[in-house]
Structure 1
Amino acid sequence: MSVLSRQFLLALSLLALAFTSFAAPQTSSSSDKHAVAVHYTDMAHAIFGDAEKSAVALQAKINDFLNAPSAEGLIAAQEAWKTARKAYQQSEVFRFGNSIVDDWEGQLNNWPLDEGLIDYVSDDYFFALGNIGGDINIIANSSINLGTEVVDASTINAELLRSLHELGGSAANVTTGYHAIEFLLWGQDLNGQQLGTGERPYSDYLANDKCTHENCDRRADYLRAATEVLVQDLQYMTKQWAPNVDNNYRAELLALNDDVILARMFYGIGSLSLGELGGERIKVALEANSTEDEHDCFSDNTHWSHYYNGLGIQNIYLGKYRRLDGSVLSGPSLSALVAKANADTDKQTRQSLDKTMTALTVLTKTAEAKDKPMKFDMMIAEGNKRGEAILSNILSALVVQTRSIEQAAAALNIDPTATGL
């Protein structure tokens, strides 16, 4: 997490304490609060379960493609990757308030990454200053000299990728997760801040003399292994939230005081709202005009990642999640608790969440427009006034939304920083 992100979280904490200091809420019953806590864990199980299922579907499409590489097969795998992002991005709302998720998240969603660690890159590629792994190119080298040791990379498998992830303690050394897979499916986006994604040819996975850029067999091995790791990681997290398991995280969480669980819920949605989505993912990229700070930079899928982060926040407050199969999981919610304590505060919070989703919908519609689409990396270009206005509107909505979340917590006499973490 960057210094800026930590600053946003500190600001969130201070504001939350300020609101709590003058709140005079009605009291919700312990049974009401516990019902909300239980439903929170049910939602986590459903969302991580959908992320797992969509990753398994992605794995199937990738295996189909690798068994018979074709342009159509590559597109099918890319589309499966985009689908797999939908549930996962909604799951990020369980970070921050749940250390088991936050400590694990880097295996799946670290970004930006130094792609030269994984595969070939353009001649003008620059990796992070001082990064010992930025130009290793695992796919091209069966033996990796790290100075103090030599790593046998003759076999690319899940064990190797896990061992090299965050090599040297650098978060830019990403060997696993969604963005490593994204890079292997799309390749570098060399279009700068003009329209266009990465253009990796399907022939990067053909055998023998038909292979472009060499090492097609090892590239295929890497893509298979990275997808295997993704599925394994999501299976692990889904089990952590499963009901009727004695020693998983769900059981541990539900054994806590209900006010502590509610604090973790508020802290999670507030932190994702302002510190991560507003700060780390939008404000930093906009102020730096930097495509390196674009979240899904190879596929130009960033607008959807931001949208589903926003939707994840709304899900938790309303206690409602639309599953990938179209069914809706709904139940006891923070909204219901707040409405009982202060109906006006609940109404204001729901309105602020709606306004954020409206602003994020403008982002997705602009990026997906049939006539002159404008992707996120184009919006953050210096001098793009329209793009700046769209993103600034989202930032403003997120600020108001976060204040509303703090007021909602205060209505229940909940200190969002009292998470016990």
Structure 2
Amino acid sequence: MNAKTVLVQSIAASFLIASGSAVADQVTQQQVVKHYADVAHAVFADSLTTAQILEAKIDEFLNSPSAPKLESVREAWIDSRIPYQQSEVFRFGNAFVDDWEGQLNAWPLDEGLIDYVAAGYQYELGNEGAVANIVANTSLTIGASQLDVSIISPKLIADLNEVGGSEANVASGYHAIEFLLWGQDLNGTKSGAGQRAYTDFVVGAECTNGNCERRGEYLKAAAELLVQDLEWMEKQWSKEVKDNYRQELLTDLPENGLRKMLFGMGSLSLGELAGERMKVALEANSTEDEHDCFSDNTHNSHYYNEQGIYNVYTGTHLREDGKRLSGPSIADLVAQKDKQAAKEIQQQFDVTREQVGELVTSAEKNNQHFDQLIAAGNTQGHALVNGAIMALVAQTASIERAASIIGIDSLSPDTADHEF
């Protein structure tokens, strides 16, 4: 079964997930927060598992590069995004997750920091690292700093992330790996993703674009760092580990845990997903502001961000092994207070998931990916993206309504300075 088949089945299965636990007995706030920690652990554990598979596929590819093996690695990368994007709902309410996230998922990036780029490459003005090309050089000068990059390691890549103080200097994480696997997407708002050849990793006479051995070293080190980072985060939510974040969360007042849950949901829904990831790219018709811009996987990243929000509200998560996790949820707390409101809020979640799912349908069935939908003059595409944005705005209002019903006041989700 290939990655696309798995992805399509996962999307189909996720639409079948209904609300969390049945309200046979009264659900308590503490039970909901505890189950939230269980869901977080499951999501990060799945993220780790899929990253380990990606790392193994990269090792296999680098041992004997070929076009089919490169395609297999790309499929593993896309698969790894499914659980990780569902984890982002844990960012905004839990500050330590947000602080950690930049090393794994920062974007957009000035890819010239990492490797060769096309002539006329547009990068952030004033960014001295934007064309540093770590793959092609063993030392870099950025500002007053002379940097030794002769040995590419996970630590070096972590140290180089945001080098020179620029957020565009993304050296690590999913998108650095994505760029190394696909290369730049030079199609603009036309159909097509990046087309890096497998020969960019062939050591010897068949090497294309030079520095193939160092390019492979970078890819391997970036994958190792990704796994290391996810190993650390998985432990933070594990019930088997003492004195971790899970323990801190569960010893706090349950209403504080609920506030973190609801603020995380609302902020991802409004400021991040509707704002930074959709509105910014749409208004500027900018493929540079597209999330998974090298692979054209943006529709899936958006969909699984929304799925993560839904998971936290309903206390559900579809595991990578096909098992369904469910338990006490915010949806249950709302239903205990106001069954009619619970029904209406659930309906809004369903509408929003369906609307964001239309971006997946557009890409998978109609071959109209997110970068094409945001093109200037694409009236239908703009309407589709705007529909998703407005559904997310309405969903955020429902999240605030849920918060009020269960006694969490003044939620104020982060808008990221966007107006809707």
* TM-score higher than 0.5: yes
Is the deviation greater in 160-169 or in 63-72? 160-169
Q: When the two structures are aligned, how many residues end up with a matched partner?
A: 389
What amino acid sits opposite 2:214 in the alignment?
Answer: R
Residue 36 of structure 2 contacts residue 315 of structure 2 at CA under 8 Å; is this kept in 1? yes
Q: Which moved more, 1:391-400 or 1:55-64?
A: 391-400
1:227 Cα deviation (Å)?
A: 0.2
Spell out, residue by residue over 1:253-272, the C-alpha distance to the aligned partner (whole angstroms, 9 max, x if none).
11110011001100000000
Asked whether the 8 Å contact 1:264–1:416 carries over to 2, the reply is no
Q: Which runs of 4+ in 1 moved over 6 A?
A: none
Give me the whole-angstrom Cα distance separating, in 2, the residues matched to 1:287 and 1:210: 43
Which residue of structure 1 aligns with residue 355 of structure 2?
A: 359
Determine whether 1:382 maps to 2:376: yes
User: Using the alignment, how far apart are the partners of 2:51 and 2:216 within structure 1?
Assistant: 17
Matching of residue 185 in structure 1 with residue 172 in structure 2: no
Partner AA of 1:294 in structure 2: E
Q: Indicate if the aligned counterparts of 1:266 and 1:416 stay in contact, CA closer than 8 A.
A: no
Rounded to whole Å, the distance in 1 between the matches of 2:53 and 2:390 is 37
Of structures 1 and 2, the one scoring higher in RCO (CA 8 A, sep 6+) is 1
For 1:281-332, what per-residue CA distance to the aligned partner results, in whole angstroms no more than 9, with x for missing partners? 0011111100011000000000000000011011110001001111000000
2:96 maps to 1:100: yes
Greater Cα shift, 239-248 or 249-258? 239-248
1:255 aligned onto 2:245: no
Matched, 1:59 2:66: no
Question: What does residue 241 of structure 1 align with?
Answer: 237
Q: Secondary structure at the match of 1:386?
A: helix
Equivalent AA in structure 1 for residue 344 of structure 2: Q
Which residue of 393, 404, 412 corresponds with 1:410? 404
Matched, 1:47 2:47: no
- Partner residue in 2 for 1:308: 304
1:123, 1:161 → 2: CA distance? Answer: 25
Does the 8 A contact of 2:403 with 2:411 survive in 1? Answer: no
SS in 1 for 2:321: coil
Taking only the aligned residue pairs, the percentage that are identical comes to 54
Distance (Å, rounded) in 2 between the aligned partners of 1:83 and 1:418: 33
Q: Who is 1:3 aligned against?
A: none
Residue matched to 1:20: none
Structure 1 runs not aligned, ≥5 long: 1-27
- Asked whether the 8 Å contact 1:115–1:121 carries over to 2, the reply is yes
**Matching of residues 134-145 of structure 1 within 5 Å:** 134-145=130-141
What is the CA distance between 1:136 and its match in structure 2? 0.3
Offset, 1:88: 0.2
Question: What does 1:161-172 align with in structure 2 at a 5 Å threshold?
Answer: 161-172=157-168
Q: For residues 227 and 246 of structure 1, what CA distance do their matches in structure 2 show? A: 28
Alignment RMSD, CA only? 1.3
The partner residue of 2:324 within 320, 324, 328 is 328
In 2, Cα distance between equivalents of 1:228 and 1:187: 20
Do 2:50 and 2:79's aligned partners in 1 also have CA atoms closer than 8 Å?
A: yes
Closer, same or farther: CA 342–191 of 1 in aligned 2, 3 Å: same
Moved more, 139-148 or 290-299: 139-148
Residues 267, 416 of structure 1: 8 Å contact kept: no
> Which residue of structure 2 lines up, in the alignment, with residue 394 of structure 1?
388
Contact 2:316 2:325 in 1 (8 A): yes
Distance across 1 between alignment mates of 2:89 and 2:302: 12
Which residue of 67, 73, 76 corresponds with 2:72?
Answer: 76
Paired amino acid for 2:408: I
